[in-house]
Amino acid sequence: MVHFCSFPDFKQVTVSVLLALLFGCQTTNMAGSVHELKSIKLTILYTNDEHGWMEGVEEGRGAASLFEQWRRQEGFTKGGPFIVLSGGDNWTGPAISTWVEGESMVEVMNAMDYDASAIGNHEFDFGLEALASRTSEANFPYLSANTTWKNSGSYPLDLGILPFTVKYVAGLNVAIIGLSTTDTATTTMPSVVAPLAFTDYAEALRKVMPSVKQIDPDLIIVISHVCMDELRGLASAVADLDIAVMGSGHCNELVAEKIGDTVMLGGGYHFSSYAKAVIEYDLRSASVIGSSFTTHQNSAVSEDAAIVEIVGQWRSLSEEILAEYLGFSARKWDRSGAELRQTIINSWLEYDVTADVAITNAGGIRSSISAGEISLGSVVSMLPFSNTIIATQLSGRVLQRALEQGGRPVFAGLTEVNGEWIVRRTGKALTDDGLYRVLINSFMYDGGDDFGMVAEFDPNGFDMDTNYREPFVQWLKRQNTSPASPLHLAY
């Protein structure tokens, strides 16, 4: 049995006090003395980018089936020689999680006995207050050693973000350090994270390591919301720090490999898979003497009854609102298809007929429309963010720059004819010096996906206080689709 510390007021916790609290709260329930053993095998189960998919992308392949697989296939027991870790991005996704700002996912992960999670960029999607609420509800710590307050350089302990934690498990002191992608400043709402800095990974690890070493760890693990390509380079750059395991996130990769002496894990995404490492530690030499590493798919053979009940309760709470019928589709419309993307952004121009152009980012469209009934919940899952629509006045020159230099834009209102942009509302050619009413989502207006040029030109953009999904919801209702007259999207 392993217990974590409770921190009632993070504002009063320094790293040195944190260390004292961590040691003061450790307990274990092991039969016999670990010193009677010659070696210990510790199993690490790793997921990342769960994105709220507690029910699973496919029916029966969610959190309940994965946890049951851990128990049956891996022999997982609470208090056993296991550590369960996440690479972050826990909650933004389907409506069952997004609608309650991730509260449901925290309860599910508590029930799955997670021991720590890295802070992903999408942990900030609902604002700092919501993040602090989620971290306070979790039975496990959220970690990021490279996230600090800009004005002080201190760790944001008041948000519940710790640089590292320590577990005493299977007779071993295990230090777990977190890292967040340095892209966080532009891959969530930039204004929300503006007070925070996301610093260089290697520098952050070297800065925190003296504090970590104070606990005299037997093993050091780094969990991160960092893509594997970057993480591989980091593993080589900090090989002298004796990190036994590094876990990735952000790029949804399913990976198990080794670089030097460090096992590298990526757990895939959406509870559809996980990565595993087994570390054998020799007690006499106080060193790692062996390791194995594998990846596994969620086999969905059976489900854990307790987690099924938790998911069912959250589904019932949100069903009444989110079950609102919006339409019917006889086929699937893919999130990456031009038909769905253009219909969504065209709905903005129907919502505001005075606008010339509308721009959104492809990354804001998170799932497809499946065949069958279309509910409000399915649209919330597809367009899950709290982004609003901002009305701006842009010159033709800035608008073209945004379309050419911004990241992955989806736009409406312009037609290219013989190499020249024509504004559909007026039928006139776009000119460099002309001024145009352009709708853009608040994430992009804040500079997300490299669209900083928009607010630079028009710092007084008008927030329409309309969620970016609302025009599409209204458009769907107007279509009056049914099984006899299903949805049709034209591009």
Q: In the chain, what are the domains?
A: 10-314 (3.60.21.10), 325-479 (3.90.780.10)
What is the rounded CA–CA span in Å between residue 404 and residue 223? 36
Q: How many percent of the chain have pLDDT more than 90?
A: 79
Instruction: Read off the tokens for 306.
Output: 């307790």
Helix (H, G, I), strand (E, B) or coil at 95: helix
What is the rounded CA–CA span in Å between residue 470 and residue 41? 52
Task: Please check whether residue 470 is in contact with residue 351, taking contact to mean a CB–CB distance below 8 angstroms.
Answer: yes
b or e along 259-276 (b: 16 or more beta carbons within 10 Å of the residue's beta carbon)?
eeebbbbbbbbbbbbbbb
Phi (first) and psi of residue 219, to 5 degrees: -135, 145
pLDDT of the residue at 21: 46
What is the rounded CA–CA span in Å between residue 476 and residue 341? 14
CB neighbourhood size of 222 (10 A): 28
Average confidence (pLDDT) over 244-272: 97
pLDDT of the residue at 219: 97
CA–CA distances in Å: residue 139 to residues 115, 181, 359, 410: 8, 23, 40, 40
pLDDT of the residue at 406: 64
Task: Please check whether residue 136 is in contact with residue 160, taking contact to mean a CB–CB distance below 8 angstroms.
Answer: yes
Beta partners for 435?
395
Does the predicted TM-score (pTM) go above 0.95?
A: no
Q: Which is nearest to 55 in space by CA: 343, 308, 352?
A: 308
Distance between alpha carbon 489 and the CA centroid of its chain, in Å? 30
What is the rounded CA–CA span in Å between residue 22 and residue 79? 17
Task: Please check whether residue 293 is in contact with residue 44, taking contact to mean a CB–CB distance below 8 angstroms.
Answer: no
Q: Which is nearest to 184 in space by CA: 236, 144, 152?
A: 144
Span 114-130, pLDDT tens digits: 999 999 999 998 999 99
Q: Which of 14-23, 192-201, 271-280, 293-302 has the lowest mean pLDDT?
A: 14-23
